[in-house]
Amino acid sequence: MIKKTTISATFTNENGITAAENLQLKLNVPKGFTVEAKTPESAEKVAQGATFTAEWEVSAPDDRSELTTAKFTVRAAFKNGNQTGNETGEARVLIENDVDKNYKTISFNDATFSQSGDDFAIHGAGNDMWKSKNNYGAIYKKSALGSTDTITTKVVHQDRTGPYARAGIVARNDLTDQNGSAGYINIAVTPDHGCMLSWDSDGDGKLDSKKNVTSCNGAQYLRLSRNGSLYTASSSADGKHWNEIDTVFVPGSKENVDAGVFMTAANGSGDSSGLAQFEGFTVEPQPFLLELPHRKIPTEVPVNVTAVFQNVENQAIQDLTASLDVPDSWKVEEITPTKGIQVGPHKKN
């Protein structure tokens, strides 16, 4: 966003019988912004099916460093016969600030980026992220997600540019390789289809598999955890109570892959673009991993199940106890000690 911009609002009288009278439009702006009407803000009458448009010039404050987005609200007051009507509409715009040098950006959807501290925003277009289409914009860290790491963010806002518009976490061997890089997976919020997990199941650099959870709505925390080529995606409304979406196999994943936050408008080859806003973007080692020798356990063949505890703290963990719960009629034999375990700072056991 430049120092000044123009915002317009259009009122449509959808009443097929009565004209709207005494229409008044008012634009509310965030603290520090100034607004000047460039066209009339009121109309004595708007006929049935007719429209009325007002425009304002908005000036941003000189110091915009603490902002990634700004929300503008337009309120309409009018009369329809003997009744008084009130309508409200809002829009968010990106406040363009430099992204910290510790992060990288990539755009395959005409994206613009902004960062202020732990807040990130991306405004972009893009017709889809599926099969041969990889139109995304991302703020990411190069080779940041190790084979036992977890990346977490919160999707604060997403414009509805399409039912499958996506905003969330993306990981890939090389996010700058639009159509050929393997190790490709993302977990995202959508406007109409809950949380969507999609991944490349055959290593050809194209998203070809997906799973969605429709109960995941509104602002959501998202998490993507790795155990080698196995990725577990989860969502949470509060960042404390997590719901696992699925664990999937992503072939060809390198030891360390690019990872960050992303958006695509998924506008179906249209020209609409939108805004996605994120709070926080952290990559941390997982404190606990469970390793299986097979993705499927063969019938009547003993297998070893290994639990790896990774101490991410600066002090030793004492007297750790591990247990394995199995289905009824299964048998478990301990191979290594499971009680009184000690794990040093930043060590594994």
Instruction: Specify if 99 maps to a domain.
Output: no
C-beta separation of 246 from 227 below 8 A: no
Same domain, 177 and 256: yes
C-beta separation of 245 from 194 below 8 A: no
Q: Lay out the sheet containing 137-145: strands in order across.
A: 104-107, 137-145, 257-264, 166-172, 185-189, 195-199, 209-213
**Cα angle 184, 117, 272; round to 5:** 55
Same domain, 33 and 172: no
**299 band by pLDDT with thresholds 50, 70 and 90:** low
pLDDT, tens digit, for every residue of 49-69? 999 999 999 998 988 888 999
Q: Which of 261, 286, 311 is the last residue of a domain?
A: 286
Please state, in angstroms and rounded to a whole number, the distance separating the CA atoms of residues 208 and 203.
10
Same domain, 15 and 142: no
Q: Per the structure block, which two tokens stand in for 255? A: 């030891």
Q: How many domains does the chain have?
A: 3
* DSSP code string of 116-180: ETTEEEEEE--S-EEBTEE--EEEEEEEEE-TTEEEEEEEEEE--SSTT-EEEEEEES-TT-TTT
Neighbours of 235 (CB within 10 A): 24
Q: Which of 264, 286, 308 is the last residue of a domain?
A: 286
Q: Which DSSP letter does residue 226 get?
A: E
Q: Is the pLDDT of residue 325 over 90?
A: no
pLDDT, tens digit, for every residue of 227-257? 999 999 999 999 999 999 999 999 999 999 9
Please state, in angstroms and rounded to a whole number, the distance separating the CA atoms of residues 209 and 178.
18
C-beta separation of 16 from 70 below 8 A: no
Same domain, 193 and 59: no
pLDDT at 1 (0 to 100): 45
**296 band by pLDDT with thresholds 50, 70 and 90:** low
Please state, in angstroms and rounded to a whole number, the distance separating the CA atoms of residues 324 and 309.
13
Instruction: Specify if 236 maps to a domain.
Output: yes
Query: Containing domain of residue 303, as a range?
Result: 287-349
pLDDT at 50 (0 to 100): 96
pTM, entire model:
0.83
**311 band by pLDDT with thresholds 50, 70 and 90:** confident
* DSSP code string of 253-293: --SSEEEEEEEE---TTS---EEEEEEEEEEEE-SEEEE-S
Q: Distance between terminal CA atoms of the chain?
A: 50
Q: Is the pLDDT of residue 46 over 50?
A: yes
Mean pLDDT of 191-213: 96
Instruction: Specify if 144 maps to a domain.
Output: yes
Backbone region of residue 117 per phi and psi (left: phi > 0; alpha: psi in -120 to 50; beta: other values): left
Neighbours of 341 (CB within 10 A): 15
Same domain, 119 and 237: yes
Same domain, 282 and 208: yes
Q: What are phi and psi of 246, to 5 degrees?
A: 180, 160
Same domain, 267 and 121: yes
Domain harbouring 51, CATH code: 2.60.40.1230
pLDDT, tens digit, for every residue of 119-134? 999 999 999 999 999 9
